[in-house]
Chain A
């Protein structure tokens, strides 16, 4: 569970959006896959595909000891009205300082009030957190399920 690599993921998504790329690849890991699927669920990216360093897979390829070093996740970005849909993606928990939050704190953030030195959520902004259920949830989903977790990143 590397926040360093997640930080690279966040920077790369911002750079790719600014460069108006249609499809981009990131390191394939369990955390990254969870975040990518959450982003797709929230409508920030349109597709998540497994692939190689060369490009997304044409057909399903199993990950083996031989090809694991070349495996990547390919995400396709969205643009609307001449603006990227995913324009900012920032870490909340850093490798040096992990931030955990319970349901009450998440409710404060969702209601537009700061809590525990975390800035509140703006309109159209989401907060992804790692829960002990083993799944990455958005803040409002976590509030509905009455669970908290480690805040990973915020996306708008």
Chain B
């Protein structure tokens, strides 16, 4: 999809001289730069320390930053005869020729020195630690703690579960709307309990009849499992609680799968007009967050998006914005569909060429 960027070395004469004097770029990276572990205490003065403050291991932060693999490892060399003969044990001749032809198209030095564009996101939090792995001490354990009965740390039963007689028989303890939704959708009642639901819009509506003004409460709710399913539902009743119930029930019933790119954002940018609402949804890089207005934020949370940006112009009516968001999310065009329609192969450069680093 994206073009391969090519760097152009436009140097003046002075810079060329300095490069020649200093040596080729990226040559001495193995010798340069201190190791990443904090340095040992200074005992060169017979073991006497002049300060009680421990040395800050991050004081050489800029030089401690990990160099990309391409700086520390040598560039790849063409395959030798023995390597090709080993490959031919696993691939047929036709596969091997096409593989080698494909690899020969890419410039090896450029591929070796590929790097990502620096982040100019001002909202990005600057962490010193690499948070990609869990620290065994500092990070709380992930996932629910399950203890066998008899373990000293097992969870105690809640008092209200013991007091109500219907706790033993879980079938009668469920709200009827959950049981109804379970029958209609095929999810178990436990799954429906675990769904994330929220009432986004609620106000009173009035109908003028021959009997006078009949005032009802209107609710719009969103329901989702946080992992690819989301739906909205509207409910109207004289009582607010009834309207809330109807809206949540219909939202659960109307849940539909919505495709997500890498399970965190949408495929491409969307620009649709639903009624008077002109909605723009933007695909965003990982770690961006949900920077949208409140209604789109809740719908994205229920769906399980983590990176999204939105712009609502013209009408901002809450009810119509919710409906427009759901319609927009369901109208996403997948790259696979585009590729099939055009008869072309669409490649995600981010994954294939940059290995997910960009």
Contacts and interface: CB of A to CB of B under 8 A. Distances in A.
Most chain B CB inside 10 Å of its own CB: which residue of A78, A85, A106, A123: A123
Given A42-B344, A43-B343, A123-B267, A140 B338 contact: no
Contacts of B338: 123-124
A79 B342 CA distance: 9
Nearest to A106: B3
Contact of B337 (A42, A81, A106): A81
Given A123-B346, A124-B335, A81 B341 contact: yes
A81 B341 CA distance: 8
Contacts of B269: 122
Given A123-B267, A123-B346, A124-B333, A111 B3 contact: yes
Given A80-B337, A123-B267, A110 B3 contact: yes
Interface in A54-107: 78-81, 83, 85, 106-107
A106 B4 CA distance: 11
A47 to B, nearest CB: 13
Interface of B is mostly: loop
B2 A44 contact: no
B1 interface: yes
B338 to A, nearest CB: 4
Given A80-B340, A81-B341, A124 B2 contact: no
A143 interface: yes
Contacts of A79: 341
B5 interface: yes
Given A122-B268, A123-B335, A43 B3 contact: no
A107 B349 CA distance: 14
A42 B6 CA distance: 23
Interface residues of B, number: 19
B341 A78 contact: yes
Contacts of A110: 2-3
A93 B267 CA distance: 28
Nearest to B350: A112
Contacts of B2: 110-112
A80 B341 contact: yes
Contacts of B1: 123-124
Contacts of B344: 42-43
Given A44-B342, A83-B337, A123-B267, 10 more contacts: A43-B343, A79-B341, A81-B340, A107-B6, A110-B3, A111-B2, A111-B5, A123-B1, A124-B335, A124-B346
Interface of A: 42-44, 78-81, 83, 85, 106-107, 110-112, 122-124, 139-140, 143-144
Please provide the 4 A-B residue pairs with the shortest distance between their CB atoms, ordered closest to farther.
Answer: A43-B342, A80-B341, A124-B338, A110-B3
12 contacts: A42-B344, A80-B340, A80-B341, A81-B337, A83-B337, A106-B3, A107-B5, A107-B6, A111-B2, A123-B1, A123-B346, A124-B342
